[in-house]
A and B are shown apart, each in its own frame.
Chain A
Amino acid sequence: MTKADKIDGTRRLLLGGLAASVVLVAMPVRADDALVAEAIREHFGDAPRSDGRITMLLPPLAESGNTVPIQISVESPMSETDRVKRVVILATRNPRALVATMEFGPGAPRAQFSTNMRLSGTQDVITIAEMSDGSLWQAQSRVLVTVGACDTLQIRY
């Protein structure tokens, strides 16, 4: 038996065995577009939203959906009269669409923050910013969440 044969045999075993164990995993129900629309309506009613003014930094590919870094900055002078009031983050296919709501107090000189979010699988992340004049701005970005074979197993440890 050549070395290549041996490796191939091992891989077949690995993949076969792991595939057999996949069936048992239950996934939580995921949000769909209707639930996302409902979450947006809950926060902002039916007010129109424009694209732009938001820069959203998200990795295009995440190897763990449990810790996905996100940085958001919104273009705004952040003066007393012209500022960002709040930012809402939504994940379109998480069990619950709403991820967090950020508010900038009078002491905030810059509408920028970073945090880490959860993504249960590949999906779009939507960020909506509400300005002091009531206008709404939106950005959307897709994150590919990869899954390792062992991640799909039910392991007690």
Chain B
Amino acid sequence: MTPLPPALVLLGVLAAGMVQFDGPRPSEPRSGYSFLTPELQNLQDDDFANPGMLWVEQGVALWDEAAGSSGQSCADCHGDAAQSMRGVAARYPTYSDEAGRVINLEQQINQCRTARQGAAALAYESEDLLGLTAFVANQSKGMPISVAVTGPIAESLKRGEAFFYERRGQLNLSCANCHEDNVGNHLRAEPISQGQTNGFPIYRALWQSMGSTHRMFAWCNEAVRAEPYAAGSQEYVDLELYERWRSQGLSVETPAIRR
């Protein structure tokens, strides 16, 4: 066997470093918004009556509030969120060199708090973390979702894809069984959506409150009688990333209303 020419070896190494994810996704992504009745659509479209805006306002206050040993607020580094945060949520989850793994927006906020502000991380699903996340995501409202697909993130996407197609729970159902195979069919009176995550954190009528993507995953997992993973777990971050890949092209709607 003759050794490979050095140029080819180099190409191979480069290709491995440039692994690109190209899994399946809906040819026509449909936001959960399109499955709602006009009443809930109106509620989402009304920037005042949309109760999710209460959490966004909470985020406005937190953005300017000094936290931790640094005595710094988010605004002290990032300035006007309308400028600095525009488009940011549309790119998350993303690979963080600092964390050495893929992290979502909630984890990025907490990374800033612990590493930069010298403050304690906010608890997952706490009103404060929901508020800040909703506020930051709201700055990208109307922008198309576009996550990175090359480099170390590809591995995370593959794991997320595997999670999406893996049957689980006593009902032995995968995410895809409902949100791909049966989109538009009904579970009793409820139309099955594509399970898109472009509006999160969402104000969910069922919860009568704001909730994160991971709360929704846990809810769905328990609905099929599977033991949910913890909010913030790598399993859910990977799934969230894959969901965002499926949402590619849909616009950020945070804070969306869902049934």
Residues in A lying within 8 Å of B, measured CB to CB: 6-7, 10-11, 13-15, 17-18, 21, 59, 61-64, 66-69, 146-153, 155-157
User: Is the beta-carbon distance between A64 and B205 smaller than 8 angstroms?
Assistant: yes
B45–chain A nearest beta-carbon distance, Å: 13
| Stretch from B83-91, B97-105, B112-120, B180-188 that touches the partner | B180-188
Q: A63-B259, A153-B223 are in contact. List 6 more A-B contacts (CB 8 A).
A: A63-B205, A69-B39, A147-B189, A148-B189, A157-B215, A157-B222
Interface size of B by CB at 8 A reads 32
Interface string of B34-57 (1 = CB under 8 A from A): 001111101100000000000000
Q: B189: nearest residue on chain A (CB-CB)? A: A146
User: Is the beta-carbon distance between A62 and B177 smaller than 8 angstroms?
Assistant: no
User: Is the beta-carbon distance between B43 and A149 smaller than 8 angstroms?
Assistant: no
User: Is the beta-carbon distance between A147 and B172 smaller than 8 angstroms?
Assistant: no
Give residues of chain B (141-184) contacting chain A, Cβ–Cβ below 8 Å. Answer: 170-173, 177-178, 181-182
User: Is the beta-carbon distance between A149 and B188 smaller than 8 angstroms?
Assistant: yes
CB of B228 within 8 Å of the partner chain: yes
A110–chain B nearest beta-carbon distance, Å: 19
> CA of A15 to CA of B36 in the docked complex: distance in angstroms?
22
Residues in B lying within 8 Å of A, measured CB to CB: 36-40, 42-43, 170-173, 177-178, 181-182, 185, 187-190, 205-206, 208, 215, 218-219, 222-225, 228, 259
> CA of A59 to CA of B41 in the docked complex: distance in angstroms?
13
Question: Which residues on B sit within 8 Å (CB–CB) of A67?
Answer: 39-40, 43, 205, 208
Can you list 27 contacts pairing A with B, beta carbon distance less than 8 Å?
A: A6-B181, A7-B181, A10-B173, A11-B185, A14-B171, A14-B187, A17-B224, A17-B225, A59-B38, A63-B259, A64-B40, A66-B205, A67-B43, A67-B208, A146-B188, A146-B189, A147-B190, A148-B188, A148-B190, A149-B187, A150-B223, A151-B190, A151-B206, A155-B219, A157-B215, A157-B218, A157-B222
